[in-house]
């Protein structure tokens, strides 16, 4: 499945998104400074409707594009040996990147100690209750339920990407096994993938509106002053993200050489959308399109990218250890802050538990709540960082997109399937 290049349109979309982001910040700032809290809340709720419309439009095409592209990709890979080889290379990248991200967050939070001296009276317990409810159900049984679908229709309806991947892998392998009888279905799904990717083009016209709504809502509700209050925490977290980007881009350059700047230009629109909406789902269809335009073979893209959305969330991984240790420092939990062995065990637990709850809104905080409780980290500590979580979420979501783009390009290169457009 080849996608023709449209550099002018891509460039314009990126500029429209950036303009919408700036306008959203300005409008949100004016509303926050000139209206009472009740009016600000009404404005934020209404502005967020623009983002909701955009996100729901994207969400409606995620299931068909994952199913169609993944099944066709597996069918084109040809056999279980190839599927296993590509999957093995992808998982090697995912696990290595996850360990580096978790480890980096742990090292930096111990060096900077942003939680030491934090004012725990700012804890917002009312806002934590919903997250606590979600984290209560976390268990091995829930992990299995999250991974293994009981109904493909239910998985599609709820956009459970990992469940869709499991079903699509089985379906694709079975389709390949029946030989010529499966060719009409493969051709039909290939055509469906083209149709859905065309829909992506139309939906992306709404991206600037979604970005404007997200930024205006966030700033009008919280104001820019909150960035000053939590400036140390946010600044140190973004410094960590900058180091993580440096590591990822260095590895990317070693693999892709002079193609790396081309890849970054290609994914500039998806990354800007991810940053401003703080949603990975919002960019999945667009990312599929741009990775194929970059030259990655569609069978690699359709196989590796959905896996990455469940197993390769580099920015979120770093945030989990960073946020957990911040709370532990703020509440003086010496059992974890003073024990490196316990911190390493917590890191390894995060490596597993983070895979069992992907796709939940504010998944990083839900995992922090569920896992942190095992190490004596008080759940009310999440209330300290809830107010500024949206600003951290922007950076970690954009990092997730970068990590998955690099992983897909790297696996394509290792497989000898990276074309030069």
Instruction: Give DSSP secondary structure letters for 146-212.
Output: HHS-S-HHHHHHTT-HHHHHHHHHHHHHHHHHTGGGGHHHHHHHHHHHHHHHHHHHHHGGGHHHHHH
Distance CA 73, CA 68 (A): 8
> For residue 388, what is the enclosing H or E element?
none
Q: What's residue 4's pLDDT?
A: 42
- Whether 106 maps to a domain, the answer reads yes
Q: What's residue 197's pLDDT?
A: 83
More confident residue, 384 or 237: 237
**What single-letter DSSP state applies at residue 258?**
G
| Contact residues for 18 (Cβ-Cβ < 8 A; gap 6+) | 272
Q: What's residue 3's pLDDT?
A: 43
Q: What total number of domains does the chain contain?
A: 1
Confidence of residue 109 (pLDDT cuts 50, 70, 90): very high
Distance CA 178, CA 171 (A): 11
- Whether 420 maps to a domain, the answer reads no
Q: Render pLDDT for 248-280 as a digit per residue (tens, 0 to 9).
A: 999 999 999 999 999 999 999 999 999 988 888
Distance CA 126, CA 129 (A): 6
Q: Residue 136 maps to which CATH number?
A: 1.10.3860.10
Check whether 91 has a pLDDT greater than 60. yes
pTM: 0.85
Q: Render pLDDT for 37-63 as a digit per residue (tens, 0 to 9).
A: 999 999 999 999 999 999 889 889 888
SS (H, E, C) 300-350: HHHHHHHHHHHHCCHHHHHHHHHHHHHHHHHCCCHHHHCCHHHHHHHHHHH
For the segment 200-222, the average pLDDT, to the nearest whole number, is 89
Lowest mean pLDDT among 107-121, 127-141, 308-322, 358-372: 127-141
Distance CA 362, CA 228 (A): 23
Show the CA angle centred on residue 365, arms to residues 360 and 370, nearest 5°: 90
| Domain containing residue 341 | 7-414
Burial of 348 (0-12, 13-18, 19+ CB in 10 A): exposed
- Whether 1 maps to a domain, the answer reads no
Q: What's residue 39's pLDDT?
A: 94
Distance CA 418, CA 421 (A): 9
Confidence of residue 189 (pLDDT cuts 50, 70, 90): very high
For the segment 121-146, the average pLDDT, to the nearest whole number, is 61
Q: Residue 375's CB: how many other CB atoms inside 10 A? A: 17
- Whether 166 maps to a domain, the answer reads yes
Tell me the sheet residues that pair with 296. 418
More confident residue, 254 or 379: 254
What the block records as the tokens of 270 is 């998806």
- Whether 2 maps to a domain, the answer reads no
Distance CA 164, CA 170 (A): 10
SS (H, E, C) 72-136: HHHHHHCCHHHHHHHHHHHHHHHHHHHHHHHHHHHHHHHHHCCCCCCCHHHCCHHHHHHHHHHHH
What the block records as the tokens of 56 is 């729901």
- Whether 318 maps to a domain, the answer reads yes
Top mean-pLDDT range of 12-21, 251-260, 345-354, 371-380: 251-260
**What single-letter DSSP state applies at residue 386?**
S
- Whether 419 maps to a domain, the answer reads no
Question: In 3D, which of 363, 252, 311 has the Cα closest to residue 99?
Answer: 311
Residues in the chain, overall count: 421
Check whether 2 has a pLDDT greater than 50. no
Q: In this structure, is the dihedral angle defined by the CA atoms of residues 310, 311, 316 and 317, taken in order, positive or negative?
A: positive
Check whether 6 has a pLDDT greater than 70. no
- Whether 328 maps to a domain, the answer reads yes
Q: Render pLDDT for 157-184 as a digit per residue (tens, 0 to 9).
A: 888 877 888 898 889 889 988 888 999 9
């Amino acid at each position: 499945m080849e996608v023709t290049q449209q550099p002018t349109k891509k460039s314009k979309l990126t500029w429209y998104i950036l303009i919408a982001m700036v306008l959203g910040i300005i409008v949100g700032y004016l509303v926050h400074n000139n209206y009472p809290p009740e009016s600000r809340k009404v404005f934020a709720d209404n502005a967020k409707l623009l983002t909701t419309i955009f996100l729901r439009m994207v969400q409606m095409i995620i299931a068909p594009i994952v199913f169609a592209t993944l099944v066709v990709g597996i069918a084109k890979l040809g056999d279980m040996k190839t599927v296993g080889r590509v999957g093995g290379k992808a998982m090697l990248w995912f696990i290595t990147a996850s360990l580096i991200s978790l480890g980096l967050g742990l090292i930096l939070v111990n060096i900077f100690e942003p939680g030491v001296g934090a004012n725990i009276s700012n804890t917002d317990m009312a806002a934590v209750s919903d997250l606590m409810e979600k984290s209560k159900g976390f268990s091995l049984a829930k992990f299995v339920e999250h991974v293994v679908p009981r109904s493909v229709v239910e998985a599609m309806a709820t956009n459970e990407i990992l469940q869709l991947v499991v079903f699509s892998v089985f379906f694709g392998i079975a389709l390949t096994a029946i030989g010529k009888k499966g060719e009409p279905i493969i051709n039909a799904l290939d055509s469906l993938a083209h149709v859905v990717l065309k829909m992506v083009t139309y939906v992306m016209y709404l991206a600037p509106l979604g970005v404007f709504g997200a930024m205006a809502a966030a700033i009008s509700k919280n104001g820019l002053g909150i960035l000053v209050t939590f400036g140390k925490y946010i600044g140190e977290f973004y410094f960590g993200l900058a180091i993580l980007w440096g590591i990822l881009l260095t590895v990317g350059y070693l693999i892709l050489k002079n193609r790396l700047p081309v890849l970054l230009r290609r994914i500039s629109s998806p990354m800007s959308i991810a940053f401003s909406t703080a949603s990975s789902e919002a960019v999945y269809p667009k990312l599929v399109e741009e990775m194929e335009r970059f030259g990655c073979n569609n069978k690699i893209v359709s196989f590796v990218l959905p896996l990455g959305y469940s197993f390769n969330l580099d920015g979120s991984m770093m945030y989990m250890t960073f946020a957990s240790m911040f709370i532990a420092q703020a509440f003086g939990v010496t059992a974890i802050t003073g024990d490196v062995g316990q911190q390493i065990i917590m890191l390894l637990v995060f490596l597993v538990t983070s895979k069992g709850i992907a796709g939940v809104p504010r998944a990083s905080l839900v995992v922090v709540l569920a896992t942190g409780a095992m190490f004596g980290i008080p759940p009310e500590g999440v209330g300290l960082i809830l107010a500024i979580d949206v600003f951290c979420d922007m950076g970690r979501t954009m990092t997730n997109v970068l990590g998955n783009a690099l992983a897909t390009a790297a696996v394509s290169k290792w497989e000898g399937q990276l074309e030069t457009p």
